Every structure is written in structure tokens, then in C-alpha cells.
Structure 1
């Protein structure tokens, strides 16, 4: 894998991770507005973006395992940080949405 390909892969990590993060936060906003079906749809889209990022990350890891040498740049570290933050936030947002759903169910039960 040449340096140009590595940079493309790095930018894919950043892009897919950023897309996943944005979609997850959009899902949280929908859940805040009690639109849980839209929140679920957006979280599924976020998961698909994270899967793309994982595929890209796996290609980079496999290249290194196969003995391909490439520079470990600050940009690569940034991409990894970006992806890990997106993964972490997605998990937290998924949990927050479940809490909001429980609160909504409880509120509906009290309205009866």
C-alpha cells in the first residue's frame, strides 16, 4: 500500500467516524423529541457508518500485519482518536436513548 492509499484510508476513517458521530447525535435529538422510531433509524445509519470505518481500519491493520511498512503519522493517530470517540459516544447515546424511552413510557403510564 503506497502513501497515497494510506492517506485515502486515513481520511475514510475520519469521514466515516464523523458521519457516525453526527448521526448518533441526530438520533439523540430525535429521542429528546420523543421520536423514537426516527432515533432508531438514525442509530442504524450510524452503525453502518461505523462498520465502514471498521472495514477501513481492518485493511490498515492487515497491511501492517502482512509486513507492509508505512509511516505512523499524526493524521493516522487523529483518525484513530476520531473513530474511538465516535464508538464511545455511540454507545453512550444508545444508552441515553433507552433511558429516554423508559422515561416516556413511565410518563405515559402516569397520564392514564
Structure 2
């Protein structure tokens, strides 16, 4: 059963990380079009996906801390990479949106 839970957590990282990155990209596109309300909503959606991904990650870290070591596979590494990329992309999207907002105000 533990193996199934680990797989679900790993897939959660990939899925929620992917959702966050997609929402962040949509936020940039909205800001570029001048729709800052949509851009803000998409960033909020991206951040919510990142929270969900962190819940998956926390479950795995808790297991590890309790001495229930999981086997590190390529899928595990990929899920962590996916999450970190999504976090960085979302942070960068916020900065790009801010630049579009400043340009719109000038």
C-alpha cells in the first residue's frame, strides 16, 4: 500500500506542478493582452496548484522522516524537477506580469 501512496504523491507533484506552470503561462498571456484581472486569477490558480503539490511532497518527506524510506526512481526525480521548475516559472511569471502592468500604466 505504501508503494501505491508514493506513486500517487509522485503523480500529484507532476500533475499539480504542470497545472501551475500552465496557469502561470496563461497569466503572462493575459497580462500581455492587458487583462490583469485574468492574469491575477491565473497566478492565484498557479499558487493553489503549488500548494497542492507541496502537500504531496510533504507526505513523502514525512514518510522519509519516520524512517519509511522510499526508492528513488527516475519518476521520483522527474516529479521533484517538475515541481521546482513550476515554482521558478510561477515566480518569474509574477515579475513579467508586474512589468506588463507598469508598461500599461505609462
TM-score by length of 2: 0.97
Structure 1 residue 79 and structure 2 residue 63: aligned? no
Q: Which runs of 5+ in 2 are unaligned?
A: none
Structure 1 residue 45, shift from structure 2 partner: 0.6
Structure 2 partner of 1:94: 94
Gapped regions of structure 1 (runs ≥ 5):
107-112
Do structure 1's residue 54 and structure 2's residue 57 form an aligned pair? no
Report Cα offsets for 1:28-81 as digits up to 9, x if no partner.
Answer: 000000000110011001100000001110110011001002201110000000
Q: 1:5 offset after TM fit, Å? A: 1.3
For 1:17, the equivalent position in structure 2 comes to 17
Alpha-carbon distance in structure 1 between the residues aligned to 2:69 and 2:50: 25
What CA distance in whole angstroms lies between the structure 2 residues aligned with 1:49 and 1:70? 24
Q: Structure 1: which 4+ aligned runs deviate by more than 2 Å? A: none
Aligned to 1:38: 38
- Determine helix, strand or coil for the equivalent of 1:71: coil
2:50 and 2:86 map into 1 onto residues whose CA distance is 8
TM-score, L = length of structure 1: 0.92
Larger radius of gyration: 1
Name the CA distance, whole Å, in 2 between partners of 1:8 and 1:104.
Answer: 43
